[in-house]
């Protein structure tokens, strides 16, 4: 089967943002496993459960895996300020002091625009280190300035994000499964 970027993009569920949260007026968008679309070409990701009770996306240690989501840009957010992300995850395996390498691509779009596969607005790489704090436990980690405000403005209404575990990169040394439980985007 030939893979087309548009096929993945067309299947992605668009999330609506929550109104200002109860935590001091912070705007937030929760992204759960059921809100993601898995990428057909990066086969190292699949739907699963963490501790047999929480839905998650499993990212395999041996194959690149990717997942996508789209959010409608909250009308109450500042069209120029950075967006932070809080990852809720677990690492399944016993391999401390190793890294999981994640590549993040995102596109900030105005109404009617679609992302160009090879041309995201920005890309980031994060190494998440395994430790006794996150192996076999639920762990929360914040990445500040996850989406840089310079890539959107007051007319931006959609953000598309692709998350990829780069298992084939020499820097991805963790031999267990990375289990993504939830993302929380805040501004």
pLDDT tens string 51-78: 999 999 999 999 999 998 888 877 777 8
Q: What is the pLDDT of residues 124-137, one digit of tens each?
A: 999 999 988 889 99
Cα 144 to Cα 84: distance, rounded to the nearest angstrom? 5
- Judge if pTM exceeds 0.75: yes
pLDDT at residue 174, rounded to an integer: 95
Q: What is the pLDDT of residues 155-165, one digit of tens each?
A: 888 888 999 99
Tell me what the mean pLDDT of segment 76-94 comes to.
Answer: 88
CATH code: domain 5-186 is: 2.60.120.260
| Domain range list for the chain | 5-186
């Amino acid at each position: 089967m030939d893979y087309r970027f548009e096929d993945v993009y067309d299947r992605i569920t668009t999330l609506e943002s929550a109104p200002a949260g109860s935590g001091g007026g912070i705007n937030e968008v929760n992204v759960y496993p059921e809100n993601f679309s898995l990428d057909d070409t990066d086969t190292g990701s699949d739907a699963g459960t963490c501790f047999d009770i929480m839905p998650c996306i499993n990212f395999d240690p041996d194959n690149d895996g990717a997942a996508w989501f789209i959010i409608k840009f909250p009308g109450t957010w500042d069209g120029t300020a950075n967006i932070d992300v809080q990852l809720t995850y677990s690492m399944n395996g016993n391999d401390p002091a190793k890294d999981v390498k994640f590549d993040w691509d995102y596109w900030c779009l105005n109404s009617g625009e679609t992302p160009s596969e090879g041309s995201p607005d920005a890309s980031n790489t994060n190494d998440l280190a395994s430790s006794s704090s996150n192996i076999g436990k639920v762990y929360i980690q914040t990445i500040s300035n996850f989406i840089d405000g310079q890539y959107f403005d007051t007319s931006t209404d959609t953000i598309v994000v692709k998350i990829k575990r780069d298992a084939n990169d020499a820097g991805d040394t963790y031999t267990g499964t990375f289990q993504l439980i939830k993302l929380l985007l805040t501004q």
